[in-house]
């Protein structure tokens, strides 16, 4: 971790802010990116001299390009790019509108697509780099039906990162792609979901943002490809798909 230049998007609160504070203490040099300037500056201040804030919207490709340019101009390189922009929704699939689906894809998928595409030329020029993308257990098991379009967006995101890994790995094996899948996390995610929704702080078995940040920091060090933030999540995913493959009469 010491000496790595890490760009963290969605860094003004929640998982992004917790990760920033953690890796700043481990000796990383940070570029923190978010839309909310006051909140972002507060996180950067807590991180100290290690952090450089950039106000930008990761759903706008021109803003993403500006973050890459400004970071390279200031630090000369980027070692790790963290895709951490996301938003939930509270709406059942039968109720979804075009705008609901477009918003979930714009925030949860396009932000990561733009970030990954725009950092790749730099990583390819160096022959190394690490893209870390924060997904969700709902991108594996869509059990929260009221999150419908969010679940779908995270499934799309998982496939996208897997395809990036397969494509880039053929020519640039030194570039790594990691996918992180948390469950419920005690952040503002629930309260800020499109159309409102349950408060994430009240959900059973919710992790703290600091716990999830510790897992992400471990992945930055290890380069592991696909990581769940709680023991038992992998087994839960396997069980879900095993049960889908059973005879319907058996599942009753």
Which residues belong to the active site? 150
Between CA 220 and CA 178 the distance in angstroms is 8
Closest CA to 131 of 106, 151, 157: 157
> Which two structure tokens, joined as six digits, stand for 199?
């408060």
- Between strands 51-55 and 5-9, the pairing is unpaired
Between CA 35 and CA 57 the distance in angstroms is 5
**Rg of the chain (C-alpha set):** 18
> For residue 29, which phi and psi values (nearest 5 degrees)?
-100, 130
Between CA 250 and CA 224 the distance in angstroms is 36
Give me the numbers of helices (H) and strands (E) for the chain, helices first please.
Answer: 9, 7
CA 91 to chain centre: 22
Residue 13 DSSP SS3: coil
Phi-psi region of 196 (alpha: psi -120 to 50; beta: other; left: phi over 0): left
Three-state secondary structure readout of 108-124: HHHHHHHHHHHHHHHHH
- Between strands 51-55 and 175-181, the pairing is unpaired
């Amino acid at each position: 971790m010491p000496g790595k230049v890490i760009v963290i998007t969605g860094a003004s609160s929640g998982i992004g802010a917790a990760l920033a504070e953690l890796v700043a203490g481990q000796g990383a040099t940070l570029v923190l990116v978010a839309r909310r300037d006051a909140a972002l500056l507060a996180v950067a201040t807590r991180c100290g001299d290690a952090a450089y804030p950039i106000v930008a919207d990761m759903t706008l490709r021109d803003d993403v390009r500006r973050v890459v340019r400004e970071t390279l101009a200031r630090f000369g390189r980027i070692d790790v790019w963290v895709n951490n922009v996301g938003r939930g929704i509270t709406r059942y699939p039968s109720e979804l509108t075009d705008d609901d689906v477009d918003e979930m894809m714009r925030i949860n998928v396009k932000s990561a697509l733009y970030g990954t595409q725009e950092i790749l030329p730099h990583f390819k020029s160096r022959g190394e780099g690490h893209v870390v993308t924060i997904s969700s257990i709902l991108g594996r098991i869509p059990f929260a039906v009221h999150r419908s379009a969010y679940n779908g967006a995270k499934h799309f995101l998982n496939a996208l990162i897997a395809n990036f890994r397969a494509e880039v790995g053929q020519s640039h094996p030194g570039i790594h792609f990691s996918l992180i899948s948390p469950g419920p996390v005690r952040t503002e995610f629930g309260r800020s979901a499109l159309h409102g929704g349950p408060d994430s702080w009240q959900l059973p078995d919710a992790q703290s943002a600091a716990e999830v940040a510790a897992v992400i920091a471990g992945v930055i060090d290890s380069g592991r490809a696909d990581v769940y933030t709680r023991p038992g999540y992998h087994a839960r995913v396997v069980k879900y798909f095993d049960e889908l493959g059973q005879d319907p009469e058996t599942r009753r």
